[in-house]
Structure 1
Amino acid sequence: MAYLSCAIGRGVYLPIGNTWHHPRLFCLHIGRSGRGRKGDAVQLVLRIDQALRDLDDGLAPQVHRGGLSSREGLVALMHDGYQQGKLDIPAIDDKRLWVIESEFANVLHQGRREGNTLSAALRDCWDGVSLKPATKTNRMYASHPHVCLSGAISPSELTGMLTARELTNGFANRFLMVWAERSQILPFPKPTPQTVVDTLTRRLLEILRFAEADQPDRRDHLRMELSAQAQWRYAQLYRTALNEDQGSEIVNSMLERRAPMLLRLAMLFALTDLQTRIDVHHIDAAMAWMHFATASVRYVFVSATDEARLAQALELSARVLTFLRERGQATRSQINSECFRGKVSKQMIDASLETLLASTPPKIAVQTVDRKDGLPGAPLRIYGLAKA
């Protein structure tokens, strides 16, 4: 999917508000060393890429496997032309670039170096923003890049090297993270038959010609749209699953871009059906991938103990929400006695209430009122459903 999103280019776009989305993906394959088969996973795509070049070299994007080290190095792969001494270096007109980072830990390591702006450049590439010079002495730049990235990393490297800054600055949540490992131990796995590779390549050729990918220098000339039913389905998901609180600050930050990522996936699935209209089944297919990505992130970043605690807090939150819908409003004491029959600990009730208050938008509201019984003590906190 990352390769296809790259090959399609920036000609296809989907307007949502003031943002024009392009089908551009960053994918991260997470798996344990020796079991994830992260290196093997990309080989089939490279075979398809070579077969595509044999049929129509102009449809295939540039592929970079040399590793990324800096913003300047990334720009050099798709620059707009520059002067080297008295020599004019011509621009690279095709800005489609598929980057394969088999050791994604290298990218995280570069981000830790003082003055290195690679992670900021990759964020710009995901957004489709032109890469300007980072220094006055280096005048090389790349306008309208279309960079897609396929990375691979072990879970221990990811959790150990991902810094708090990368969790909060939007770098990590631009990746569709997928946990995948081998299901069998085969010393001599069978290669994909060439007939299958040829069939996939011909299908790819058909999709790319439909998307007019043979004109990579043209931008935003093929508009996509959501059908009325797809708009309704997306709006429904946007208000629920795509912004659902996961009960963990780390997991929430990693999944912050679920909505735009779903749209990009839906665009790809519609294009594989050779149509510019996104229908409900394209949204649902994309949502299935988002569910798997969510499960992958939780699996990597939340321990088994924390997972059980978070699952309990979410389940209790749902019970509180149902209780307040029926009752209207209630104090914490009433929630304890009437909703949970006094069988849930104070800590878990507080965790469930905090989960509902911290949702985006908040699902419940709290107001403080003075006690009417004249007894000493803190004012009462009354919980109710948040106003829409």
Structure 2
Amino acid sequence: MASERVTLTIADPEGERDVALSSPNKVIWQDPSTGSGGITKAELAEYVQTVAEPFLNANGHRPVSLERFRNGVGPSSESFFSKNPPKGTPDFVDAVTVTYNSGRRHPQIVLNRPSAIVWAVQMNTIVFHPWASLASDTDKPIELRIDLDPQPGTDFSDAVAAAHALREVLREAELEPFIKTSGNRGLHVFCPIEPTHEFLDVRHAVIAAGRELERRMPDEVTTNWWKEERGERIFVDFNQANRDRTMAGAYSPRALPTASVSTPVEWDELDDVDPQSFTVRSIPQRLADVGDPWARMQENPGRISTLLEWWERDVSNGLGELPFPPDFPKMPGEPPRVQPSKRVDANWDAEGNRIED
């Protein structure tokens, strides 16, 4: 039996466009905490149309990875990522060739109009993961992004305290931070920056900011990459600043039972925020009531010069490179890729390379 199928008429900048949506009544979020009845694929398609303007301001015109769930969100749900345009991608979904960390080059999806977001929903996308750079220059980020990740024993309120202190650090570095909920337990701090530096430089700027925050809050914040060393502190995940490393975009749903959404907020409302109250069903009304706190983000981008000076100062004081993710090629100056409790110093040289017998 053929699946049910409807045609949606989407208002694009170029004019109206018809987009097919199969299985519109398929339940994506089944948890009763989402309200009366489950959230369907059709409701998700309606949501992305409603938030299309702020969504595209934050996530459009840049490479994006689509996290797709064939069977919706549930205890046994499985996901996979689409980075490259799949076969049959319509011509209103754009693409740009990017360079990955391996050196491989390949086209990656770019969402530039509401119909493209609806097409992504048709492809069972729930979470949208945008790059920090635009399609016009994929090698140079326009945002410095810092992920404040609560570790076991900490919670959202601890991330809030760290975020306020991080705001002070970034302002001292002549950057203006914006903030959003992750949609789960953490917070994401973004600073608009001029696209003058490559990803590695921006990562070093994030590390410099994280180290300065750690100095001010040593019992509450850590930049330790290895979990065994983090303790009950907020982890500054500096590796989210790497090329092809992404986090859920602003106004992206999360694959969690409550259908929570990664939501931009104003700094003066942060202390009272309940991140679980921001859902696919509540965000349209929030936007109608308070607007988009990130609407002005790109008006005055800053520079990372001061943070890079801090990085060089820390290097001069013996604080060098930090570990990269395991799928990255070995990087210059990187310490050994083995957790400290299992490392035997005699097996590693001064450059962090394993000494072979």
TM-score (norm 1): 0.23
Counting helix residues as a fraction of each chain, which structure ranks higher? 1
Counting strand residues as a fraction of each chain, which structure ranks higher? 2
Which protein has the larger Cα radius of gyration, Structure 1 or Structure 2? 1
- Higher-RCO chain (CA-CA 8 Å, sequence separation at least 6): 1
TM-score (norm 2): 0.24
